[in-house]
């Protein structure tokens, strides 16, 4: 039987970078489910479909395919109608669209089987918002990774400044707080810790310490279920 690790938490907690490293160390596949919502967001932007127009969203869903594959380095590739859109989904516009479209229940239902099938066929660390609560409630290990809004905003602010972007820390913090609110207050599959999850707070941890902590939580809990 394959092993599933559900990793949820708010934006900016470092889930993807930490999970990618932990997956490599444990020889698991890292599945970034946000990329699936981003691909659907991209499809909607291309077609001019608004997330509020349920009929248009449903028609779009009946006409598109979204798939995951992995390259030789084990990196995830997202395919929209067979086209590799892994790079195109990383723009700020795609983030906005993904956030809006991910609140549509039909979109969430559309992606459910794909995510569950990945976990049936591979050992996975699956990163998202509702993996432990909805997608894989029976995952052997469920982790809720978080950090204070200030710590997450500070990390994001540092990244943006290093890239040469002119931003104010207060604006970045405001964005973090707004996104947290939206993610945790939507009607369908809101962000919340799953029952039986292990809470990991990285506010006081650096990247290496966070990776170590996640790996040790996974090892302890997998051993408990074998």
Q: What are the residues binding ligand DC (CB under 6 A)?
A: 11, 33-34, 37-38, 98-99, 102, 128-130
DSSP-assigned states of every residue in 114-129: HHHHHHHHS-EEEEES
Closest CB to ligand DC among 58 and 182? Answer: 182
Total Cβ atoms within 10 A of residue 168: 9
Closest CB to ligand DC among 106 and 204? Answer: 106
| Shortest spacing between CB 15 and ligand DC, in angstroms | 7
| Shortest spacing between CB 213 and ligand DC, in angstroms | 20
| Shortest spacing between CB 47 and ligand DC, in angstroms | 18
The strand order across the sheet containing 29-32 reads 29-32, 124-128, 4-8, 141-146, 198-201
| Shortest spacing between CB 193 and ligand DC, in angstroms | 14
User: Which structure tokens are listed for 120?
Assistant: 């049936």
| Shortest spacing between CB 206 and ligand DC, in angstroms | 21
Closest CB to ligand DC among 13 and 217? Answer: 13
Closest CB to ligand DC among 7 and 217? Answer: 7
User: Which structure tokens are listed for 159?
Assistant: 């990244």
Q: 21 - beta bridge partners?
A: none
Closest CB to ligand DC among 76 and 102? Answer: 102
Closest CB to ligand DC among 38 and 213? Answer: 38
> What single-letter DSSP state applies at residue 74?
S
**Alpha-carbon separation of residue 92 from 98, 99, 128, 206 (angstroms):** 10, 11, 18, 26
CA–CA separation, 98 and 192 (whole Å): 19
| Shortest spacing between CB 78 and ligand DC, in angstroms | 11
CA–CA separation, 224 and 219 (whole Å): 9
CA–CA separation, 106 and 75 (whole Å): 28
């Amino acid at each position: 039987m394959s092993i599933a690790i559900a990793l949820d938490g708010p934006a900016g907690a470092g889930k993807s970078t930490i999970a990618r490293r932990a997956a490599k160390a444990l020889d698991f596949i890292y599945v970034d489910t946000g990329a699936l919502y981003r691909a659907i967001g991209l499809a909607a932007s291309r077609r001019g479909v608004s997330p509020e127009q349920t009929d248009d969203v449903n028609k779009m869903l009946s006409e598109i395919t979204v798939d995951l594959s992995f390259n030789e380095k084990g990196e995830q590739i997202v395919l929209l109608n067979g086209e590799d859109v892994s790079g195109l989904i990383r723009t700020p516009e795609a983030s906005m669209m993904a956030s809006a479209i991910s609140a549509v229940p039909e979109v969430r239902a559309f992606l459910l089987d794909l995510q569950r099938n990945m976990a049936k066929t591979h050992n996975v660390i699956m990163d998202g918002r509702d993996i432990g609560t909805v997608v894989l409630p029976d995952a052997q290990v469920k982790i809720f990774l978080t950090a204070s809004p200030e710590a997450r905003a500070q990390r994001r602010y540092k990244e943006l400044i290093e890239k040469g972007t002119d931003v104010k820390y207060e604006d970045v913090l405001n964005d973090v707080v707004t996104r947290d609110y939206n993610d945790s207050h939507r009607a369908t599959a809101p962000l919340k810790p799953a029952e039986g999850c292990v809470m990991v707070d990285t506010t006081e941890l650096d990247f290496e310490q966070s990776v170590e902590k996640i790996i040790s939580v996974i090892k302890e809990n997998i051993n408990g279920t074998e």
